[in-house]
A and B are shown apart, each in its own frame.
Chain A
Amino acid sequence: MNIMNKAKVVLLISLSITASGCSSLGVEPWERDLLSKKEMTLTASPIDSALDDHIYFSKEASSGGKGFGGGGCGCN
Chain B
Amino acid sequence: MPFISNTLEQQDQMLAEIGLTKEDLFADIPAGLLYEDFKLPQGLSEQRVRDSLAELAEKNSTHLTCFLGGGFYDHFTPAAVHSIISRSEFYTAYTPYQPELSQGILQAIYEYQSALCRLTEMEVANASLYDGGTALYEAMMMAHRITGRNKIIIDDSVNPIYRVMIHSYTRNLRIEFEESQCKDGLADRDRILERIDDKTSAVILQNPNFFGCIDDFSDIAAAAHDKGALLIVSCYPISLGILKTPGAMGADIVTGEGQSLGLPLSFGGPYLGLMAARKQYVRKMPGRIVGETTDASGQRAYVLTLQAREQHIRRDKATSNICSNEALCALTALVYLSLLGKEGLKETAQLCADKASYAYKRLTAIPGVQPHFRGRWFFNEFVLDLPCEAADVIAKLIERGFAAGFPLSRYYSGMENSILISVTEKRTKHEIGMLAEALESVL
The answer to whether A and B come from one shared complex is no
Residues of A at the B interface (CB closer than 8 Å) are: none
